[in-house]
């Protein structure tokens, strides 16, 4: 990071060519620059406030701070939108599954094949233990 310049250095390097004429301070040029500066002091806080979600409004805030806050706010907004979309999609899918189950006649207490929960299950030729059957039941009925 570069060293902070003094106000005298800033004047000599930046303002002097703008506000002086033949080595003398030009009052008209100073007034014009101050008018422009006032405009910035009025408008920059509005932009900072907007892009930072109302957190930053001080015009002398470093750009990286405003940018970081803006990025954080956008990330948070995106995460909330995705969560909401997933919630809506889950609700929609649950409703469709319920309609499907009603169409195929699945009753409460049956698995996705319509078999009662307590019927022994096999996978291939292997009889599942009661714990494995409960896990299969849980998995098959997750919605």
* Tens place of pLDDT per residue across the chain (143 aa): 568 899 999 999 999 999 999 999 999 999 999 999 999 999 999 999 998 889 999 999 999 999 999 999 889 989 999 888 888 888 888 777 777 766 666 555 566 556 666 666 555 666 667 777 677 667 766 65
Show the tokens assigned to 50: 């907007």
Question: Which parts of 11-103 are beta strand (E)?
Answer: 20-21, 24-25
Within a domain: 111: yes
Q: Are 76 and 47 in a shared domain?
A: yes
pLDDT at 88 (0 to 100): 83
pTM above 0.85, yes or no: no
CA 38 to CA 59: how far, in whole Å? 11
Within a domain: 53: yes
Q: Are 86 and 128 in a shared domain?
A: no
Show the tokens assigned to 77: 């907004």
- Decide: 55 and 69 in contact? Cβ < 8 Å: yes
CA 12 to CA 27: how far, in whole Å? 17
Q: Are 99 and 117 in a shared domain?
A: no
Number of domains in the chain: 2
pLDDT at 114 (0 to 100): 60
Question: Could you tell me the residue range of the domain that residue 44 belongs to?
Answer: 7-106
């Amino acid at each position: 990071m570069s060293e902070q310049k003094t106000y005298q250095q800033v004047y000599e390097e930046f303002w002097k060519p703008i506000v002086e004429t033949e080595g003398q301070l030009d009052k008209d040029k100073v007034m014009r620059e101050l008018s422009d500066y006032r405009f910035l002091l009025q408008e920059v806080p509005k932009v900072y406030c907007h892009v930072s979600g109302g957190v930053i409004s001080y015009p002398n805030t470093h750009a990286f701070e405003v940018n970081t806050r803006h990025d954080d706010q956008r990330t948070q907004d995106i995460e909330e939108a995705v969560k909401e979309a997933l919630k809506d999609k889950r609700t929609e899918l649950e409703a469709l599954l319920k309609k499907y189950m009603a169409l195929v006649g699945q009753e409460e207490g049956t698995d996705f094949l319509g078999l009662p929960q307590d019927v022994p299950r096999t996978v291939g030729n292997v009889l599942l233990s009661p714990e494995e059957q409960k896990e299969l039941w849980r998995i098959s009925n997750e919605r």
